[in-house]
Amino acid sequence: MTVEARGAVSRRTLLAGAAGVPLLGAAAACDSANTAEAAVDPFGITADRSLEVVIFPGGFGDDYAKAHEAMYRKEYPKAKVVHEATKTIATDMKPRFDSGEPPDVLNNDGADQFTIGELVNDGAMLDLTELLDSPSYDDRNVKVRDTLLPGTVESGTFNGKVYALNYMYTVFGLFYDAARWQSNGWEPPQTWDQFLALAPKIKAAGIAPFAHAGKYPYYMGWALADWIHKIGGSSVAMAIDNLEPGAWRHQAVLDAAGMVIDLVGRGFVMPGSETMSHTVSQQALIDGKCAMIPCGTWLENEMKATLPQSAKLTIVPVWSAGAKDAMPYGSARAGASGAFVVPTMAKNKAGGLEYLRVMLSKAGASKFSALTNSLASRKDSAEGVSGSSGLASAANVVKAAGNNLMTWKFSDWYGALEKAWEAAIADVMSGRTKRAADFAAAMQAAADGVARDSSITKFHRNA
């Protein structure tokens, strides 16, 4: 993304509207018999009602959205489709939500996004169960929910109801330029010890072993959280997400934080990383100034303007901390992010739901993958799409991980905890925090504060 898949950030209200709807037109029937069967009207659309779509144009850009809007316009030629792109989602949209004039579809993403949990508390988003249980665009005998990759529905579920369609199936890990590494004879480390052995060789070549987007600490937060998960297993992640007493003092947290503190203390982090934006750190990787950065699969598309043809940006899971890790190397954070929501006060809720159904068609998902070099949350989005080392490596990571996929919720659920997390990581990466116990104490205090605050609706995960 860049700043998108982050997981949390602001708030407010969106409430109810109206709708009414025609059949999906003959154009949808051209590709196959199944597509012809899909010419159904699951939501009751008004054919000439305008549709407004607001997109966060981060690492994935917004060309994919324009393609989806063209598909919608083809089905409903009488409908005016209004496209807006903004990187300040909450700032720009909050006044509209407050006045009862939200868009029909909102891509809630980026550094200035609404905190999803707070939107749920405000009753601001439409329950998307109707969409998930509707016939898929390509085959009326298959529900939309059955076309999605594992974890997609769960990622948008809050206390049993689905409020967000997380469309980008993002793989998180460590990116490196495989072409540069191959020319130097380096292999990506699978363990902390392997990294410690390799890092001095990388430094000797005049390259910083590691860099990160210090301006946006949650980039490093993804890697740190994944190390906690790998060391302690899903039970630790669930305890943290569920605000269990003492969860942040678990040995897995101490071990992971200690490793990152050691990473900084040994001088393996590129000087100046703490002030870098995401694009600056990504450009440093492309330019060969650093060897690895924590990022997600939007990187290749976001940097396409400066990416030389010789580069082979490749993603791998974070390395293992040690032999006692609860999860094996290859375990990875991969899942749906980039929330699309239909405001409950949208004027064209039916059109908003239909737009999401179009996005989840085979053609819609494939178009996204082709334009962004990343996976969509539909199962077959990358089929037939080639030419991207990032996309190919992401698919390999998901395949190799199998059931060993990692997930976190606290940053989506609790804005205050997310802010504390970023501050604590910034202190570690700047060298201000030198003891893992101090990091753990800061996070435990923040979690306890959220747990005690009766004004904050609490969420719970079971897996």
Strand partners, 35: none
More confident residue, 310 or 41: 310
- C-alpha distance from residue 197 to each of 134, 189, 201, 203, 228 (Å): 53, 9, 8, 11, 22
Q: How far is 290 from 272, CA to CA, in rounded Å?
A: 12
The average pLDDT across 264-279 equals 97
The string of pLDDT tens digits covering residues 20-36 is 333 333 333 344 434 43
What is the pLDDT at residue 33?
Answer: 38
Both tokens of 328, joined, read 């094996």
The average pLDDT across 33-54 equals 76
The string of pLDDT tens digits covering residues 284-308 is 999 999 999 999 988 998 998 999 9
Residue with tokens 């529900």: 143
Residues 6+ apart with CB under 8 A from 95: none
The string of pLDDT tens digits covering residues 89-142 is 999 999 999 999 999 999 999 989 998 888 888 999 999 999 999 999 999 999
What is the pLDDT at residue 171?
Answer: 92
Both tokens of 125, joined, read 């988003």
- C-alpha distance from residue 233 to each of 24, 168, 256, 296, 463 (Å): 46, 25, 12, 21, 11
The average pLDDT across 268-278 equals 97
pTM: 0.76
159 φψ region: left (φ > 0), alpha (ψ -120 to 50), beta (else)? left
What is the pLDDT at residue 81?
Answer: 98
What is the pLDDT at residue 36?
Answer: 38
Q: How far is 187 from 177, CA to CA, in rounded Å?
A: 11
Residue 90 one-letter amino acid: A
The string of pLDDT tens digits covering residues 329-351 is 999 999 898 999 999 999 999 99
Residue with tokens 């997609």: 152
| Dihedral sign computed on CA atoms, order 373, 2, 64, 134 | positive
Asked whether 294 and 223 are in contact (CB, 8 A), the reply is: yes
- Grade residue 210 by pLDDT with cuts at 50, 70 and 90: very high
The string of pLDDT tens digits covering residues 418-458 is 999 999 999 999 999 999 999 999 999 999 999 999 999 89
What is the pLDDT at residue 388?
Answer: 86
Among 256, 313, 238, smallest CA distance to 59 is for: 313
- C-alpha distance from residue 389 to each of 61, 175, 299, 307, 310 (Å): 19, 11, 11, 12, 11
Q: Is the pLDDT of residue 214 over 70?
A: yes
Q: How far is 40 from 18, CA to CA, in rounded Å?
A: 20
Q: Is the pLDDT of residue 57 over 50?
A: yes
The string of pLDDT tens digits covering residues 156-206 is 998 899 999 999 998 999 999 999 999 999 999 999 999 999 999 999 999
- Grade residue 14 by pLDDT with cuts at 50, 70 and 90: very low
| Dihedral sign computed on CA atoms, order 223, 408, 382, 105 | negative
Among 191, 187, 188, 189, smallest CA distance to 231 is for: 191
Q: Is the pLDDT of residue 40 over 80?
A: no
The string of pLDDT tens digits covering residues 389-403 is 988 899 899 889 988
Residue 378 one-letter amino acid: R
- Grade residue 238 by pLDDT with cuts at 50, 70 and 90: very high
| Dihedral sign computed on CA atoms, order 109, 111, 112, 116 | positive
Tell me what the pLDDT averaged over the chain comes to.
90
Give the rounded distance of the alpha carbon of 76 from its chain centre: 30
Asked whether 382 and 172 are in contact (CB, 8 A), the reply is: no
E-assigned strands of 219-326?
A: 293-296, 313-316
Report the length, in residues, of the chain: 463
Q: Is the pLDDT of residue 353 over 70?
A: yes
What structural domains and CATH numbers belong to the chain? Answer: 26-170+335-390 (3.40.190.10)
What is the pLDDT at residue 9?
Answer: 28
Q: How far is 375 from 393, CA to CA, in rounded Å?
A: 11
Among 184, 170, 168, smallest CA distance to 68 is for: 168
- Grade residue 143 by pLDDT with cuts at 50, 70 and 90: very high
Asked whether 356 and 165 are in contact (CB, 8 A), the reply is: yes
What is the pLDDT at residue 301?
Answer: 85
